[in-house]
Structure formats: C-alpha cells, structure tokens
C-alpha cells in the first residue's frame, strides 16, 4: 500500500505515465533496491509483490485526484466567503508533437488574512475537435463545476482570443483583458509592417472610406438598382480584426469601382432620397486615397503584403511632403510616417539577429564581454534582451569579427553596424526599457497586479510623447506606440477601482475629468457596503518616503482634496495622511489600515 501510494504521487507530481512502473526492467530496478536492503540485515522482499498493475495505479490516481479536488474546493469556498470577488485565468495551447489541445484554469483569491492565493485547479486535455466558443464554454463550465466555484463575483483575465471571449459571454462571466498580453501585442504590432496591421488611412481617411462604404452598401442592397441599370459595385472588404490570423483585403478596388461610376451612383442616391450619403461623397478625396494607397498595395503584394521589404528610397519619396499636396494627402503622408516608424527597427533587428546567429555558429561569443543573445519570436521583450547584449560602446569588436570572416565566396559587409545603426540600437533600448519594466510589474504572481494597470498605461502613454532630443524615427515610433496603446487598451471599471485602492493613486489623477473620478468613487461606496466596520482608531500619520518607480506625477497628496459631495469613508480615505505604498505592498497596507478606513 505504501509503495503504491508512492507510485501514485510520482505520477501526479512528476507527470509520469503508468508505463513508468511496469515492465521487466523496472521490476529489476526495484529488486536491486530490495537486495541492497537485504545485504544490510533486512529480510529480502519480492519486488513483484510490491508493484501494482496499471489499472490499480490509475484507479488510485483518480481517487487521490478526487480527494485533492474536494480539499481545494473547500479551501476555495472558505477563502471566498464574504470576499468582494474572485479572479480566474485560463489559457489554451496545443502540444507541439502530439497536437493535443490543453486548457488551464487558475483561481486567484485574496483571503481573510489579506494574502493572495493562486490555486491551479486544472490543466486538462481539451478533447473537442474544434476550439469553438461553444466547446470552450462547455469545457470551462465543466471544470468550474468540478470545484463548485461560486460565479456570483467571478471575473476572468484572458488574452485577446476571440473564442475565449465569446465562451465567457456564453457563460455570462465578466472578463478583462490581460495587460501583459496587451503590451506584448502593442509592441509586436508596432514592429509589424504587414499591411493588415497598418492603419494607413488614419482618422480622416477612414471618414472618407466610411462614406464610400455607406454609398456602396446602399446601392448593392437596393432593389431599384437593376431597374435603373446601375452596375453592381464591388463589395467593401470585411474587417478581419476578429480573427486570430487576419488577411489583408484592400479597399482600393471598391473605391476605384465607385469612382468609375461616380455620377451614376450620386444620381441614384439622390433619387432614393439618400441626400446625406450622396453629399458626403467627394470624388477628389476618394481619388487621393486611391492614388496614395494603390502604389503601396502594389509594392507590398510581391512581399506577402509586407512593407518592410519595399525599397526604402521609393517609400521615402512616396510619403514625403511635397508643395503641391492638399490637406488630405498631407495628413495621409504624416500618418504613414508614424505607421511605418517601426520599419527601421525591423530592419535593424533582422541585421542583429543574423549577427547573433553567425557569432554563435562561428563560436566567437568569447570575444565579447557579454554573450550575444538571440530573440524568441513569441515575446517582444526578447528583442530588447538581444539588443542589450550587444556591446554598449565597443561595436568595433563585432564589425572586426565580421570582416575577419570575409572570403572571396562570401562577405559580411552588409551586416556591419555603422554609426547610425549603433545610435539606433541605443535609442531603441531606451525606448523599450520602460515597456519591459511595466510588463514585468503587471505579470507578478506573488502580489495583486490589477492596481498597476491604469498607472502603467498612463506612464507608457506619457513616455510615448515625442521628445525634443529624439530622432525623427524614434519620435514617430513613440507616436505609433501611443496610438496602438490607446486603441488596444480600454480600462475596465475594475482597473479603476484597483487603482483607487492603491493609496498613492486614490485620487485617480490619470483620469481626465472629475466626472470619471466621481463615477469610480460612487462605485467604491457601493463596494464598501460589503464590509463591516470597526471603531478602531489608528490616526498616526507615517512618514512618506520617495519611491523611484516613475509614477510621481499621478500620486495623491492629502492637501489636494477636490470639493464635491461627501463620500463618508471614501472622503476620509481621500483626505487621510498616508505613507507611500509600493504596488506590491498594497495588501499589507489594507491589512494594517482596513479597520480605520472602513469604520
């Protein structure tokens, strides 16, 4: 019995298959251990009598798993009693070789002792053939039921996978976007020059495009089109942002088709009493869009719709301002310079990757003070690690090593890092470092990270503002990152509440209006009803120490209270003299102050 339990523990803890404990060689191993024991004065044991068969091991493993689920379920329910809510994370991935699908489920709870608990409930084989939202919802529902998870105040944190989002909507469970994943997507997109990832129309261009789509869709859907012998216009391409691997579909054919039939379409719209749609159409603006976008489409098409491979001289000329340009074309070109800001970084990083590969292949890393490191395609921050591994002020060693390997058959002169490349590497490192820092802050598992999200987004947005000493390339890259962050990150109410509960930022100065802040305060009042107060008094103010975390401009001072309605304990909290609290110590603060601030 004791040996059987030990085998079951090995299977569970080391993820070993049942075949580990079967076969002649395993029996010989155990017999050898028994014989060694016998030589030291013990009665020899027959190893075959110790070893259980696979069926018994599987049955015992299932029994132990059931016991573990019951214990975890009890701990889960105990920790969640009277709590404001519970968090959960889930992810789905495919094993590389067997192509089996797996799904994880982890619960995150702050218990009565103000400690963060991370409970891994399951890593289960997703056996459905298709990863549809319905199948994912059924699988998640089944796993939650196994542990009797109460869903009243449950919130999931997930990546941007559309099927997972839809699955949680089916289960009617709230969901917020993983900030670490968001930052990863923002920077990967900033360095992605594929047409599908670029917003080459900008806000003004999209307004023109929207008018085109409205007119074309109306004409295509009208029953009177055939009777008036109006050509069936080409359909506007559907946006593909909802799919995991979107495909680029150009709007140029649709716009060109409308231009070819412009007078007929306008007449048709006027006759159909669609005066506003007809009046919003501008032949000149549509022509400007076609003339600007069509050459980009044609140049990118041979390179799988990727502008990073397009000739740099041609591209610079195409997006350079000219005296005869109108307002719309000037806007499109300025926007394109921002959208294509990451192109220089993509080309520089590709050059650095080739250098790292060559140095590793040649065995020349010993010539450098620090080993050159290769990037990992799935994580943007590995690009920063790669750039930082290059010598800070000794690029000559890299260049001289490349030159030393030149032969008549092959040269590496095209990989030499000139002064501009060296400066760009340093600028890119300075640009990326804060993103890496904030990414690491929001992915901790020893402390809550929700309170970091709003402040991190505010800091990165502020750092993305162009600086006077930046090169034009870095200025445009900062602007591109700011655009993507604004588009990808939409703060959830829980982000704001969590930031409010971080004493340093309780005034929510990163929110633009007092109305936004009042809305959060009102929601906090409703949440306070879930706590019972105390008359304990802890009025001693603690000394505020400076925290070098880059967040000072949004920190609250007790003397900067805004006039407004009385918020009772909320107002007391806003006006209290409180010490500075590092983000990872927020739970410790509330463990110490909860009695005074919630009375």
pLDDT at 511 (0 to 100): 92
DSSP assignment of 376-425, as one string? -TT-THHHHHHHHTS-SS-HHHHHHHHHHT--SS---GGG---HHHHHHH
Is 375's pLDDT higher than 90? no
Is 148's pLDDT higher than 60? yes
Q: Which of 125-134, 227-236, 390-399 tops mean pLDDT? A: 390-399
Short-list 314, 376, 363, 370, CA closest to 340: 314
Is 245's pLDDT higher than 70? no
Helix axes 450-463, 472-488, angle to 10 degrees: 150
Q: Which residues pair with 108 in a beta bridge?
A: 87, 118
Is 331's pLDDT higher than 70? yes
Higher pLDDT, 580 or 246: 580
| Residue 88 φ/ψ, nearest 5 degrees | -145, 145
Residues 6+ apart with CB under 8 A from 433: 384
C-alpha span between 15 and 23 (Å, rounded): 18
Q: Which residues pair with 157 in a beta bridge?
A: 89, 176
Strands 101-110 and 86-94: antiparallel
Question: How much is the average pLDDT of 400-426?
Answer: 92
* 3-state helix vs strand vs coil in the chain, percent to 5: 55, 5, 35
Two tokens at 16? 């070993």
Question: How much is the average pLDDT of 126-136?
Answer: 82
Name the strands in the sheet holding 86-94, side by side, starting at the edge strand that comes first in the sequence. Answer: 116-126, 101-110, 86-94, 154-158, 175-177
Residues 183-206 have pLDDT tens digits of 999 998 998 899 988 999 999 999
C-alpha span between 511 and 520 (Å, rounded): 10
Question: How much is the average pLDDT of 169-177?
Answer: 94
Residues 310-320 have pLDDT tens digits of 998 999 999 99
E strand segments, 127-269: 154-158, 175-177
Question: How much is the average pLDDT of 272-301?
Answer: 94
Is 342's pLDDT higher than 80? yes
Is 595's pLDDT higher than 70? no
Question: How much is the average pLDDT of 292-317?
Answer: 92
Q: Which of 30-44, 101-115, 416-430, 456-470 tops mean pLDDT? A: 416-430
Give the mean pLDDT of the chain: 84
Is 532's pLDDT higher than 70? no
Question: How much is the average pLDDT of 433-453?
Answer: 90
Which range is least confidently modeled, 351-365, 442-456, 544-558? Answer: 544-558
pLDDT at 392 (0 to 100): 79
Question: How much is the average pLDDT of 577-590?
Answer: 87
| CATH hierarchy code of domain 83-177 | 3.30.420.40
Start-to-end CA distance of the chain, whole Å, equals 55
Its sign, for the CA torsion 212, 215, 221, 223, is negative
Q: Which contiguous run of DSSP H or E holds residue 572?
A: helix 569-575
- How crowded is residue 81: how many other Cβ atoms within 10 Å of its Cβ? 9
Please, which pLDDT band fits residue 496 given cuts at 50, 70 and 90? Answer: very high
Q: Percentage of the chain with pLDDT > 90?
A: 41
Q: Which of 97-101, 550-554, 561-565 tops mean pLDDT? A: 97-101
- How crowded is residue 299: how many other Cβ atoms within 10 Å of its Cβ? 17
Give yes or no for a contact between 365 and 389, defined as CB atoms under 8 angstroms apart. no
pLDDT at 378 (0 to 100): 67
pLDDT at 557 (0 to 100): 64
Short-list 383, 380, 337, CA closest to 188: 380
pLDDT at 138 (0 to 100): 92
- How crowded is residue 510: how many other Cβ atoms within 10 Å of its Cβ? 21
Short-list 48, 49, 46, 65, CA closest to 8: 65
Short-list 484, 497, 486, 565, CA closest to 526: 497
Is 43's pLDDT higher than 90? no
pLDDT at 242 (0 to 100): 45
| Residue 110 φ/ψ, nearest 5 degrees | -100, 115
Question: How much is the average pLDDT of 416-420?
Answer: 92
Residues 6+ apart with CB under 8 A from 144: 105, 151
pLDDT at 380 (0 to 100): 74
Give the CA count within 13 Å in the CB-facing half-sphere of 564. 17
Which range is least confidently modeled, 149-153, 285-289, 309-313? Answer: 149-153
Which range is least confidently modeled, 76-90, 257-271, 472-486, 526-540? Answer: 526-540
Please, which pLDDT band fits residue 47 given cuts at 50, 70 and 90? Answer: low
Question: How much is the average pLDDT of 123-132?
Answer: 79
pLDDT at 317 (0 to 100): 94
Question: pTM of the entire structure?
Answer: 0.79
Is 45's pLDDT higher than 70? no
Is 538's pLDDT higher than 50? no
Which range is least confidently modeled, 67-76, 210-219, 277-286? Answer: 67-76
pLDDT at 537 (0 to 100): 43
Q: Which contiguous run of DSSP H or E holds residue 240?
A: none
In the chain, where the domains are located: 2-61, 83-177, 196-305, 344-488, 493-597
Q: Does residue 485 come out as left (phi exceeding 0), alpha (psi in the -120 to 50 range) or beta?
A: alpha
């Amino acid at each position: 019995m004791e040996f059987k339990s030990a085998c079951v523990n090995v299977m569970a803890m080391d993820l070993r298959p049942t075949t580990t404990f079967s076969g002649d060689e395993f029996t010989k191993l155990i017999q050898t251990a028994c014989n060694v024991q016998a030589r030291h004065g013990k009665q020899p044991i027959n190893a075959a009598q110790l070893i259980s068969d696979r069926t018994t091991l599987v049955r015992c493993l299932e029994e132990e798993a059931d016991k573990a689920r019951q214990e975890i379920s009890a701990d889960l329910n105990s920790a969640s009693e009277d709590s404001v809510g519970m968090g959960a994370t889930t992810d789905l991935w495919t094993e590389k070789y067997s192509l089996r699908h797996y799904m994880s489920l982890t619960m995150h709870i702050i218990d009565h002792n103000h400690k963060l608990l991370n409970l891994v409930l399951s890593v289960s084989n997703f056996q459905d053939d298709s990863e549809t939202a319905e199948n994912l919802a059924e699988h998640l529902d089944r796993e939650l039921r196994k542990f009797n998870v109460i869903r009243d105040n449950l919130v999931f944190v997930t990546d941007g996978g559309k099927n997972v989002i839809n699955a949680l909507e089916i289960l009617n469970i709230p969901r917020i976007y993983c900030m670490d994943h968001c930052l990863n997507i923002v920077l990967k997109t900033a360095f992605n020059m594929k047409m599908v990832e670029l917003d080459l129309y900008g806000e003004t261009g999209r307004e023109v495009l929207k008018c085109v789509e409205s007119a074309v869709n109306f004409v295509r859907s009208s029953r009177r089109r055939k009777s008036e012998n109006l050509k069936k216009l080409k359909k506007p391409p559907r946006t593909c942002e909802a799919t995991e691997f979107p495909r680029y579909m150009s709007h140029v054919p649709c716009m060109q088709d409308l231009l070819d039939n412009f007078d007929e379409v306008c007449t048709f719209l006027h006759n159909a009493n669609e005066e506003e749609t007809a009046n919003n159409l501008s032949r000149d603006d549509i022509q400007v869009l076609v003339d600007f976008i069509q050459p980009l489409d044609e140049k990118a098409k041979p390179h799988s719709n990727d502008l990073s491979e397009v000739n740099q001289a041609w591209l610079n000329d195409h997006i350079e301002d000219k005296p005869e340009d109108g307002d719309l074309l000037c806007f499109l070109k300025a926007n394109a310079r921002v959208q294509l800001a990451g192109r220089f970084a993509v080309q520089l990083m590709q050059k650095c990757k080739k250098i790292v590969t060559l140095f590793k292949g040649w065995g020349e890393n010993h010539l450098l003070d620090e080993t050159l490191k290769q990037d990992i395609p799935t994580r943007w921050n590995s690009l920063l690690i790669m750039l930082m591994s290059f010598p800070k002020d000794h690029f000559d060693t890299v260049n001289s090593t490349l030159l030393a390997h030149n032969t008549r058959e092959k040269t590496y002169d095209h990989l030499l890092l000139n002064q501009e490349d060296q400066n760009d590497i340093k600028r890119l490192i300075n640009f990326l470092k804060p993103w890496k820092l904030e990414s690491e802050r929001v992915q901790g598992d020893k402390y809550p990270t929700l309170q970091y999200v709003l402040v991190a987004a505010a800091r990165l947005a502020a750092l993305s503002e162009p600086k006077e000493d930046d090169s034009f390339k870095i200025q445009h890259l900062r602007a591109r990152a700011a655009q993507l962050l604004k588009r990808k990150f939409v703060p959830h109410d829980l982000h704001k509440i969590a930031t409010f509960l971080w004493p340093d930022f309780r005034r929510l100065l990163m929110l633009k209006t007092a109305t936004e802040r009042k809305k959060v305060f009102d929601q906090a009042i409703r949440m306070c009803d879930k706590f019972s107060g105390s008359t304990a008094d802890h009025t001693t103010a603690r000394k505020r120490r400076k925290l070098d975390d880059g967040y000072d401009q949004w920190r609250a001072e007790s003397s900067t209270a805004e006039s407004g309605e009385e918020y009772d304990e909320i107002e007391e909290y806003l006006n209290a003299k409180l010490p500075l609290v590092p983000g990872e110590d927020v739970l410790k603060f509330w463990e110490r102050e909860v009695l005074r601030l919630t009375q």
